[in-house]
Structure 1
């Protein structure tokens, strides 16, 4: 399976009583797919999974899986342990798991490779590596990403290095065959696509989904003039949506648009300020 296009890591909307607003989640999932997303990520970090109970996580996954089945869209599930990856066997709609490079412990490059070998061996579906070193504290150089790409079932990487660094340029100069590179830093996805990335897992694509899909199509088709024009506009939007901790501004915008019942988040997050939400709406 080749992972291309835009994948939306869905937020988890909450109702006025604090419960998960499953109807709003379903509507949101259907809308972004209708607007051009290739697939959805359930229980990714944008969905605040650590703040959800096990029952809430199952409910969220059931809703998103049903929508993906009905729309023949790719379902990616956030799973960050061997046990979580094994549990995906119970979800036949799953197309891949998205697994974070182990955070905080900084296991070293060899430890990262061994960890993903264990995940891949346990997984019934392809594994996408989530590399975000400014959050995990673990640097993964291009050479190590190539080692990860050589592991059977490791199908790609969500690359969120905080910019276009030397490792990114080195990887994209000679990308591993059959290994999808998906942008994960929304403000830098256009230049990453220009280097040859296959798409993106983009929280900003909750809004302006069609334009993010157009951005990927234009770069993939080699239409640099159109891609640059779209990319310049979307960079400003992405910067505004990430002006406060993700997904607080995105939730504020979605609530202002009437797409979710509240802008509520759960601790340790706090709702975005009104000024940040207004600035993002202006970018739209």
Structure 2
């Protein structure tokens, strides 16, 4: 089971939107050196919505190659078409990913039975370990606990990223009596500490992009039940948890990484650069986390 601080990795891009492969390699090395426990390539934070399929799979392949077995790599392969999600997951497996993260179908808003059949079809078509991903604030659909409970016994459905940011949902999932080897991950940095202390296994994190060492320490302390140490680490991260969402992800986190000198400034439309009046708040959050002087 993959546990701990799992970064939802940005995809570095030049000012013209071209993927910066050298910066991507450097990010992978930095995360591993800083203690990040696993990498998600081409999730929402990795701008999956605007990468071409060939680019999407090449980013996964490049992250796998650079990680070289040092940490697991999870491929973002979700789509709102089941057939497309199957194909992306198959290609992610061929690229060497250890698991796939599949967001619920977005915009078309399937009912719970549609969600169940969607994930079951993918799991039956591709033997790669699959992590469900619920983020209703982006997708317009909520994967309910009872549907997770129906899917959890499927052999290669191995976990859930829950990004509602709702501790009542966290408690409801923990009360289901899911299989012992079924992993539960927070997808909301602001409630990740509490979720892990309650029994979740880790955090698939935006904040970890800019503060990987401290996020690893916070997750490790929470997993060990060290409430004081987890709270102390999380207190330094609190502004980042909040302010990295002042504008839609990944606009703020990519601006922060550019300010830190780790990536070029590129985003792809319809994402646009960070508003200048909000940039000082990001700088203050980075300083609070002791990421910059």
Task: Tell me the TM-score normalized by structure 2.
Answer: 0.90
SS at match of 2:73: strand
Matches within 5 A, 1:236-247: 236-247=239-250
The yes-or-no answer on 1:134 pairing with 2:137 is yes
**Structure 1 SS opposite 2:158:** strand
1:217 is aligned, of 187, 201, 220, to 220
- Residues 196-207 of structure 1 aligned to structure 2 (within 5 Å): 196-207=199-210
Shift of 1:75: 0.8
**Corresponding residue for 1:28?**
27
**Of residues 76, 79, 89 in structure 2, which corresponds to 1:78?**
76
Alpha-carbon distance in 2 for matches of 1:17, 1:38: 31
Structure 2 CA distance for aligned equivalents of residues 89 and 63 of structure 1: 13
Contact 2:2–2:38, Cα closer than 8 Å, also in 1: no
| Counterpart pick for 1:108 among 90, 106, 111 | 111
Whether contact under 8 Å (2:132, 2:157) holds in the other structure is: yes
Structure 1 position 172 matched with structure 2 position 174: yes
| Cα distance between partner residues in 1 of 2:17 and 2:121 | 37
Shift of 1:266: 0.9
Deviation at 1:53, TM superposition (A): 2.4
> 1:25-64 to 2 correspondence within 5 Å?
25-64=24-63
Shift of 1:174: 4.7
- 2:273 alignment partner, SS class: coil
Tell me: CA distance 1:237–1:122, structure 2 relative to 1, closer, same or farther (3 Å): same
RMSD over aligned CA atoms reads 1.6
Deviation at 1:175, TM superposition (A): 4.6
Residues 250-261 of structure 1: pairs in structure 2 closer than 5 A: 250-261=253-264
Normalising by structure 1, report the TM-score.
0.93
CA contact (8 A) 1:85 1:122 kept: no
1:132 and 1:162 in contact (8 A); partners too: no
1:19 aligns with 2:18: yes
